[in-house]
Amino acid sequence: MTAREEILRRINVALAGATAQPVPRAYRVAGELDRDGRVALFRRRVEDYGGVVLESAAPGETIAAVLAERGARRIGVSPDLDEALLPVGVEVVADDRLTPRQLDALDGALTTCAAACAETGTIALDGGPGQGRRALTLVPDLHVCVVRRDDVVETVPELLARLEASARAGRPIVLVSGPSATSDIELTRVEGVHGPRRLVVVLVDRPPA
Amino acid sequence: MRVALFVTCLADTLAPGVGRAAVTVLERLGLGVDFPREQTCCGQLHWNAGYADEATALAARFGEVFADAEVIVTPSGSCAGHVREHVPTLVPRVAHVAARTFELSQLLVERLGVEDVGSTYAGRLTYHPTCHSLRLLRVGDAPERLLRAVPGVELAELPEATECCGFGGMFSVKNAAVSSAMLAAKLDAIASSGADAVCACDASCLLHIGGGLERRGSPVRAVHLAEVLAG
Amino acid sequence: MRELAARSARPVAFPSAAEAAVTDEQTRTNVRLAQDTIRARRVAVAAELDDWEALRDAGAALRDRSLSRLRDLLPLLEDRVTRSGGVVHWARDAEEANEIVVRVARAAGAREVLKVKSLTTDEIGLNAALERAGLRPLETDLAELVCQLADERPSHLLVPAIHKNRTEIRDLFRERLGLEELTDEPRELAEAARAHLRAAFLRAKVAISGANAAVAETGTVCVVESEGNGRMCTTLADTLITVMGIEKVVAEWRDLEVLLQLLPRSATGERMNPYTSLWTGVREGDGPRAFHLVLLDAGRTRALADPVARPVLRCIRCSACINACPVYRQTGGHAYHTVYAGPIGAILEPQLAGPRGQPGSLPFASSLCGACADVCPVRIDIPGLLVHERGRVVRSERQGLEGASLRLLGRVFASRERYERAQRLARRLQRPAVREGRVRWFVGPLAGWGSSRELPAVPPQTFREWWADRDRA
Ligand code: SF4
């Protein structure tokens, strides 16, 4: 008997007579806040965990300022990033299968996101347009993420509903809530370990074209 | 209304004053108290220790002894908790008896709506919510409401009040070192409350806490809620 | 030796291990401070959600439902992962799982394998198996790294080095990583770990992770973490191997909307952990080129077959029960001598390890205070299961004097006459040991009591004697 058969047989024996009961889902699914409320909450929650949030009518300029302030001169982007978001005055490197070492040599990464969740201050990346592959937002030490106000949902169930199609299509998803952190030393939260140590969210109105 | 007192094997044998105090309180409120003499133990000790057969036999016996009682009252949060939460599963046919069983403060506050029982006291008390009254039985703040209504009681806050005192029945002897360490933390908390007595709803935990206080040579006394309410 | 998964070592009874542990003031102070911090955070973030109790209801029910459908969900998960280019392996026990991992890692040409903190791989003793096979496991989670460098076993599910404070970690890093200048600032210590592991991440060939959950209908594997080491491993390695207990599977995508709320809030007391990675098989151009999912039984089906104990498999390893536990507070995790310490360990280990694997003392390492059940996000009745495990021990092992006494006591309580006679007898027998109303010699099982407590003697009049007197009057 293969291990597979054996385990499935054990399960069959163990569960003889067991019935599957329905799941009560009385928890909150839809939020109640309007767009401004959601965005304000999102902002507070990202800041709570050490991320920086900027609101911008002219994303290109804001991003350029953000990068300049943080001394980032070479940044990586996904080859399909909307040109309107490209900052001037910095070297932009398209992530065309850069090696981990090449990614590590960048000063930061600039991406969009799939959606964001206000209640938890989370941004979700699913490899969609402008988001790049997972390594791009992981290896460089600074992540600048452009979030459309319309993409901010209130609750976790709303966020996951937004991501369901990607999951079904087999696309990898990363949920990011603040910069990397650890609580391993005396359970004191320290921001900045292996993942990007700095997270900057730029809130924009328009869909990048 | 008549109530049947389930005094518990522990109070009956080692802390009879708790039973006497409960009778005083109940009679002062005009209740008729019965003491079914056939009662022994509800089986909590055996259940917690893993002896399900003995526990089941004793649960059945409890149901039979108190079958005719309109209301059963006990000065023990853990016994009341065991009777209400476990006995119905062990012996379903006595579930209705279990449902009529109340811990003393629960009976007074929830069932009878009484907070002032007409007692007086002089001193600074701190209240330790015993785990089973707190989490199994969920008596809430009933004991504190009763204490607050007693003229002369000054209630001092107990730091880390909901932390277990470390008694746990057989645990206190099987894992004596841990039990003693938990007790030490509780005794420190009691000392820092500045109270001259610690009050609880369970004679068993009080035996452990009181025994620890005495061993330390502490002047703080361990008193059962019933004893305060009987004063 | 941390590689010695506790079960393969000679079982150490909890009471004697705990007796030593309660004298370790440094560890106890560290554990107490950590518990206080995390408890306060958990309470605060759970209170933020007014549907918290409804989430717990859903969490318990969806885990139960998934468990009851395992027979269908596992093949479904297998199908989805395989269709996305992953390879699924099945392992009946630890040995089989270790063999699979070693084989895959070797075939991938690795000498060094990166590890994301995983209890499941601790459970099966994977690091030792890798070392035996000439491969070097490198723990990448900060606390696991601390344990690995210190050659100590983890003492907490989530924060394996909870028993160490910042100064001890600094000293360890100074010694083992050669960082003489290091201070004990947590930020600097985290920075040291980053620098130490950076190169290893960038050259990673093979990485091994556990899984917090896997969604059958989509084939999605989920890893929840904070530091980014999980992302590094699951993204940068050429080959990713995930070892997952079969109980971790859930049915639907939307089940994650519950677990991803319950887990971070219960575990680290955060609204959401910094990083959650979700992936299905392999993705061309993004992440590892090969993905292997090892589905591990190793005792899970044994727990599944015990309908009373089955809910233990709901556990999402948040460790809230450990943080709430007053026993753990006094002893820390090492006294348990198991991979899973604390309340969950006391009910899970006996199930996973089977009849002969672990000391029967574990289910008794609790005062049954219930603090654990109050916080468990999936509503496992931990005290109830402790009692259940106690019953199994009592039935399977000889209980000596204790068993004889309890059975005798059962007979005494079964009859009023016997009970009253026993009360009188106790009063008579205690005489030589009693002075001024106190027991003065603590013999036999009472010795433990006497170590820290006085005991009143059985008084001259029991309650029932008083009642009978009063009735007569
Ligand atoms: S038993 Fe419950 S509280 Fe403990 S780790 Fe598991 S899920 Fe968390």
Distances (CA, A) of C61 to A31, C44, C67: 23, 24, 10
The helix (run of H) or strand (run of E) holding residue A146 is strand A142-148
Q: Which of C286, C302, C318 is where one domain is finished?
A: C302
State whether B106 and B127 are in the same domain.
no
State whether B129 and B222 are in the same domain.
yes
Order of strands across the sheet with B197-200? B153-156, B123-127, B197-200, B221-224
User: Which domain covers residue B58, as residue numbers?
Assistant: 2-111
Q: What is the mean pLDDT of residues B101-127?
A: 96
* Residues in a beta bridge with A92: A75
In chain C, what's the furthest Cα-to-Cα distance? 94
State whether B10 and B91 are in the same domain.
yes
* Residue C333 within any structural domain of the chain: no
Which residue in B181, A180, B190 sits closest to C19, CA to CA? B181
Half-sphere exposure of B71 (CA within 13 A, CB side): 16
Residue whose CB lies within 8 A of the most ligand 1 atoms, among C378, C379, C381, C385, for a mutation test: C378
State whether B99 and B193 are in the same domain.
no
Neighbours of A18 (CB within 10 A): 17
- For chain B, give the mean pLDDT: 96
Res C163 pLDDT > 90: no
Which residue in B69, B50, B60, B66 sits closest to B88, CA to CA? B60
State whether B103 and B18 are in the same domain.
yes
Structure token digits, residue A35: 């767009």
Summarize pLDDT for C181-240 with one digit per residue, the tens.
Answer: 899 998 899 888 889 999 999 999 999 999 999 999 999 999 999 999 999 999 999 999
Q: Tell whether ligand 1 has an atom less than 6 A from the beta carbon of residue C376.
A: yes
CA C462, CA C458: separation in Å to the nearest integer?
Answer: 8
Res C5 pLDDT > 50: no
Q: Which residues contact C317 (CB under 8 A, 6 or more apart)?
A: C119, C157, C158, C212, C344
Res C353 pLDDT > 90: no
Q: What is the mean pLDDT of residues B204-229?
A: 97
Q: Which of C253, C268, C302 is where one domain is finished?
A: C302
State whether B28 and B93 are in the same domain.
yes
State whether B51 and B78 are in the same domain.
yes
* Residue B141 within any structural domain of the chain: yes
Q: What is the band of C390 on the pLDDT scale with cuts at 50, 70, 90?
A: very high
pLDDT at position C207 is: 98
Summarize pLDDT for C287-330 with one digit per residue, the tens.
Answer: 999 999 999 999 999 999 999 999 999 999 999 999 999 999 99
State whether B169 and B78 are in the same domain.
no
pLDDT at position A108 is: 97
DSSP state of C155: -
State whether B8 and B107 are in the same domain.
yes
Cβ pairs bridging A and C (under 8 Å): 263
State whether B189 and B222 are in the same domain.
yes
Q: Which of B111, B131, B151 is where one domain is finished?
A: B111
Number of domains in chain C: 2
Q: Tell whether ligand 1 has an atom less than 6 A from the beta carbon of residue C315.
A: yes
Res C4 pLDDT > 90: no
Structure-model confidence comparison of residues C279 and A183, the more confident one: C279
* Residues in a beta bridge with A173: C278
Summarize pLDDT for A148-157 with one digit per residue, the tens.
Answer: 999 999 999 9
pLDDT at position A208 is: 47
Res C159 pLDDT > 90: no
Q: Tell whether ligand 1 has an atom less than 6 A from the beta carbon of residue C320.
A: yes
Summarize pLDDT for B2-55 with one digit per residue, the tens.
Answer: 999 999 999 999 999 999 999 999 999 999 999 999 999 999 999 999 999 999
ipTM of the complex: 0.96
State whether C295 and C411 are in the same domain.
no
* Residue B81 within any structural domain of the chain: yes
* Residue B117 within any structural domain of the chain: no
Nearest residue CA, atom 3 of ligand 1?
Answer: C376
Structure-model confidence comparison of residues C162 and C43, the more confident one: C43
pLDDT at position B71 is: 97
pTM > 0.90: yes or no: yes
Asked if B135 and C370 come within 8 Å (Cβ–Cβ), the reply is yes
CATH of the domain at C74: 3.40.50.10420
Q: Which of C268, C302, C336 is where one domain is finished?
A: C302
Number of domains in chain B: 2
Q: Which of B87, B111, B135 is where one domain is finished?
A: B111
Structure token digits, residue B209: 């806490």
- Is C391 an interface residue toward B (CB < 8 Å)? yes
Summarize pLDDT for B85-111 with one digit per residue, the tens.
Answer: 999 999 999 999 999 999 999 999 999
Res A130 pLDDT > 90: yes
Q: What is the band of A207 on the pLDDT scale with cuts at 50, 70, 90?
A: low
Is residue B203 within 8 Å of residue B165, measured between CB atoms?
no
User: Which domain covers residue C116, as residue numbers?
Assistant: 14-302
State whether B13 and B84 are in the same domain.
yes
CA C292, CA C239: separation in Å to the nearest integer?
Answer: 8
Is residue A111 within 8 Å of residue A132, measured between CB atoms?
yes
State whether B131 and B225 are in the same domain.
yes
Distances (CA, A) of B115 to B105, B144, B162, B194, B199: 9, 10, 22, 25, 16
Q: What is the mean pLDDT of residues A41-63?
A: 93
DSSP state of C87: E
CA A195, CA C461: separation in Å to the nearest integer?
Answer: 71
What domains lie within chain A, and their CATH numbers?
29-204 (3.40.50.10420)
State whether C288 and C418 are in the same domain.
no
CA C43, CA C265: separation in Å to the nearest integer?
Answer: 9
CATH of the domain at B165: 3.40.50
